Structures are given as structure tokens and as C-alpha cells.
């Protein structure tokens, strides 16, 4: 003899096993399932048949779980934390590389020359900038957006202060000769790159949001 | 039957439009879409919920648990201010597309 409550309890177990969370969204799905069963039963199906049809209509557990996973808050928190640490690491790497570069060239005097240290510093700048490009692209939600803005402002502020400081001193690290403007400007530009990336991706995200028919985030149909 | 791509692209504006008529819940939204489209738009029922949750995350819609006439609990969704703005934007786009087709097909006497 078919027992509806037992069948629904079994369906809930299958959903839970596939990773659908309770109470939300599983309770909401169960409410939907019960509505559909009621509707199917009204159209003349037996309780068992109505249950079967309703289960098929609601969809398979795994694809459903995959869709829910994309909007889960826990998942989003982890993503935001990863992004925040990513920004911290990339900003530190960029600042360190630029300082290292400057340190190598200006510690005692301004005497640029190609050496291994310089190549390391340049590589550091490139890697940090590449990382920041992707981080700026990924920082869409409020938390990582706010933190990334903070890092960009700190780096840009650092860049501006540093540009001015060199006018008075004869080099950040007490060099004997004055550091030329082109070098100071170049250093400032490097530190402003994250802000440029940030603004670029904010504009892109805003434009996408404004024009969002958002067909790229579909309701999947099996 | 509509193509998956077109159904996917129209899901959010359809939900926003339905909720602009008043508070509703997942099952009723699906039934209403089926009725309005003459069964030509078919959503996999469960898949409407991730979309609703995402729209809630975006701040377009709000939800609350309430009690149905039959005593069962049910989650109701309603449109928020940002949702109304999103609907306005999306509506303009769909009206543009629809207008283009109207003109093109009128000219071609299809």
C-alpha cells in the first residue's frame, strides 16, 4: 500500500544525500512537490502516480543541487574570504616588488642596471598585476568589492605620497642623487594599476547589470 | 515549444513581471507561465528556486514564509524597489527586440 508521507520522506532523504540543504531550499521544494501531487491527484491520478509525476517534474537532485550551490551563502562567504586574501597577497606582492625594485636601484644612488634582482622585481610586478586583473574581475559582491577598493586606495595613496616624497629627498632610501621624474612617475603608475583595473571591471559589471537579460545564467531544462 | 536559450533568457523578466502583479510562490509562478504561454514555456519545476534565490540575492525580490489555505507552509516572493528597476530595464530591451521583429516581418509580409 502506497504511503505518501513515507514516499516524501524517502524523496527528502535522496535530496539530502545529493547535497540539497535543509530547511532551505528542501522545505520549499517539498511544498512545491506537495502542491504538484495535489494538482495531479485532482486530475484523476492515483496518489502513487501523482507522486511519481511530481518527482519527475521537480527535477533530478544532482542538477538541482548544482544550481543551488551557485547561490549558497556559505559558498559565497568562502569566495569572498578567498578574494580578500587574494587582494591582500597581490597588493603586498605589488608593493613589495616596486619597493624591492626601487631599493635595488636607489638605495645608495640612482644607478639603474640590469641584474637578476631587477628581473625578479619586474616578474613580481607582472605576476601581481596579472593576479589583480583577475581578482578585480572576480570581485563582484559587496564584501570583496569594498576590500579591493580599500587596497586600491592604499596603493594609490602610497604611490602619490611616494611621488611627492622624492621631490624633497634625494631618493626614498637616502640615495645620494635625486631620482628623476620619469622613474618616480613610472613607479607611481605601477602602483595605480590596481585602481585602473578596479574601475575598469566595476564599469563592465555595472554595464552588464544594467543590460542584463542575463540569458547566460539559465534556468536549466533537462 | 520555445528553445531552451530563449526560455533561459526570458526567465528573469518573466518572474519579475509576474511578481509585479503581486506576491506569489514558486509553484503558482510556474503554473501561471504555463497558462500564459499555452504550455509552450516549460521550466523544470525545481530549477525556478535557484533563480528565485539568486534574484533575492541581487536584492530584486524579497521572500517570507507564510501559511497556505490548506495549512501548509509556503514561501512567498514579492518584488522590491530594485526589482522594479530591473524589470523596467529588461522590459525596454524586450520591447526593442519585439519592435524590431514586428517591423521586419511586416515589411516582408511573412
Using one digit for the tens of pLDDT, what is the confidence trace for A5-31? 999 999 999 989 888 877 778 899 999
Does A166 score more than 60 pLDDT? no
Using one digit for the tens of pLDDT, what is the confidence trace for A123-142? 999 999 999 999 988 887 77
Contact B43 A219 (CB under 8 A): yes
Quote the ipTM score. Answer: 0.86
Contact B44 A210 (CB under 8 A): no
Residues of A in contact with B10 (CB under 8 A): 213, 215
Task: Answer with the residue of higher pLDDT: A205 or A200.
Answer: A200
Does A108 score more than 60 pLDDT? no
What is the average per-residue pLDDT within A32-43? 91
Predicted pLDDT of residue A1: 79
**Cβ contact B20:B79 at 8 Å:** yes
Q: Determine the number of helices (DSSP H) and then strands (DSSP E) in chain B.
A: 4, 2
Average pLDDT, chain A: 80
Could you tell me the three cell numbers for A135?
581578482
How close A90 gets to chain B, by Cα (Å)?
A: 28
Give the integer Cα–Cα distance in Å for A35 and B65: 16
How close B51 gets to chain A, by Cα (Å)?
A: 7
Confidence category of residue A190, pLDDT binned at 50, 70, 90:
confident
Contact B46 A27 (CB under 8 A): no
Residues of A in contact with B13 (CB under 8 A): 213
CB atoms within 10 A of CB B4: 14
Predicted pLDDT of residue A171: 46
Closest alpha carbon to A50 in A62, A65, A35: A35
Could you tell me the three cell numbers for A76?
559565497
Which helix (DSSP H) or strand (DSSP E) does residue B65 occupy? strand B61-67
Closest chain A residue to the Cα of B6, Cα to Cα: A215
**Cβ contact A152:A94 at 8 Å:** no
Those residues of chain B that have pLDDT short of 50 are none
Predicted pLDDT of residue A104: 67
What is the average per-residue pLDDT within A70-89? 81
Which residues, other chains included, contact A40 with Cβ-Cβ below 8 Å and sequence gap of 6+? Answer: A49, A50, A53, A54
**Cβ contact A132:A89 at 8 Å:** no
Contact A59 B44 (CB under 8 A): yes
Residues of A in contact with B54 (CB under 8 A): 70-71, 217
Closest chain B residue to the Cα of A71, Cα to Cα: B54
- Beta-strand relationship, B73-79 and B61-67: antiparallel
Residues of A in contact with B7 (CB under 8 A): 218-219, 221
Does A168 score more than 70 pLDDT? no
Predicted pLDDT of residue A178: 66
Could you tell me the three cell numbers for A104?
635595488
Check if A221 contacts B (Cβ < 8 Å): yes
Closest chain B residue to the Cα of A61, Cα to Cα: B46
Of A27, A36, A219, the CB nearest to B47: A219
Check if A19 contacts B (Cβ < 8 Å): no
Contact A222 B46 (CB under 8 A): no
Closest chain B residue to the Cα of A34, Cα to Cα: B72
Predicted pLDDT of residue A8: 93
- What residue spans define the domains of chain B? 4-107
Predicted pLDDT of residue B1: 76
**Cβ contact A33:A54 at 8 Å:** yes
Predicted pLDDT of residue B100: 94
Using one digit for the tens of pLDDT, what is the confidence trace for A119-128? 888 899 999 9
Predicted pLDDT of residue A169: 46
Of B25, B45, B49, the CB nearest to A25: B49
pLDDT over 90 percentage in chain A:
25
**Cβ contact A98:A54 at 8 Å:** no
What is the average per-residue pLDDT within A143-163? 86
Predicted pLDDT of residue B97: 94
Predicted pLDDT of residue B96: 95
- Decide: residue A132, CB within 10 A, 0-12 exposed, 13-18 middle, 19+ buried: buried
Does A212 score more than 80 pLDDT? no
Give the integer Cα–Cα distance in Å for B83 and A106: 56
CATH tag, B4-107: 1.10.10.10
Amino acid at each position: 500500500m502506497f504511503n505518501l508521507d513515507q514516499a516524501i520522506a524517502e524523496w527528502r532523504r535522496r535530496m539530502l544525500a545529493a547535497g540539497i540543504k535543509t530547511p532551505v531550499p528542501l522545505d520549499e521544494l517539498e511544498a512545491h512537490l506537495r502542491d504538484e501531487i495535489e494538482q495531479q491527484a485532482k486530475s484523476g491520478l492515483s496518489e502513487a502516480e501523482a507522486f511519481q509525476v511530481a518527482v519527475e517534474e521537480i527535477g533530478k537532485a544532482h542538477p538541482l543541487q548544482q544550481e543551488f550551490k551557485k547561490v549558497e551563502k556559505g559558498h559565497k562567504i568562502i569566495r569572498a574570504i578567498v578574494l580578500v586574501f587574494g587582494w591582500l597577497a597581490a597588493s603586498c606582492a605589488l608593493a613589495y616588488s616596486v619597493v624591492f625594485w626601487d631599493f635595488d636601484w636607489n638605495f645608495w644612488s640612482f644607478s639603474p642596471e640590469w641584474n637578476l634582482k631587477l628581473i625578479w622585481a619586474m616578474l613580481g610586478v607582472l605576476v601581481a598585476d596579472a593576479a589583480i586583473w583577475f581578482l578585480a574581475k572576480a570581485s563582484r559582491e559587496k564584501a570583496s568589492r569594498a576590500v579591493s577598493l580599500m587596497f586600491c586606495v592604499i596603493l594609490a595613496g602610497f604611490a602619490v605620497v611616494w611621488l611627492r616624497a622624492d621631490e624633497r629627498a634625494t631618493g626614498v632610501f637616502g640615495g645620494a642623487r635625486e631620482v628623476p621624474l620619469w622613474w618616480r612617475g613610472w613607479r607611481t603608475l605601477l602602483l595605480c594599476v590596481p585602481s585602473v583595473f578596479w574601475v575598469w571591471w566595476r564599469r563592465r559589471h555595472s554595464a552588464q547589470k544594467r543590460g542584463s537579460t542575463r540569458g547566460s545564467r539559465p534556468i536549466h531544462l533537462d | 515549444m520555445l528553445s531552451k536559450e530563449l526560455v533561459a533568457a526570458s526567465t528573469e523578466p518573466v518572474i519579475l513581471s509576474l511578481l509585479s502583479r503581486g506576491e506569489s510562490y514558486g509553484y503558482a509562478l510556474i503554473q501561471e507561465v504555463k497558462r500564459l504561454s499555452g504550455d509552450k514555456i516549460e521550466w523544470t519545476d525545481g530549477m525556478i528556486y535557484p533563480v528565485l534565490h539568486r534574484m533575492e540575492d541581487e536584492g530584486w525580490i524579497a521572500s517570507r514564509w507564510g501559511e497556505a489555505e490548506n495549512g501548509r507552509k509556503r514561501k512567498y516572493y514579492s518584488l522590491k524597489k530594485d526589482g522594479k528597476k530591473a524589470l523596467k530595464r529588461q522590459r525596454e530591451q524586450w520591447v526593442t527586440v519585439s519592435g524590431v521583429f514586428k517591423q521586419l516581418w511586416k515589411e516582408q509580409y511573412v
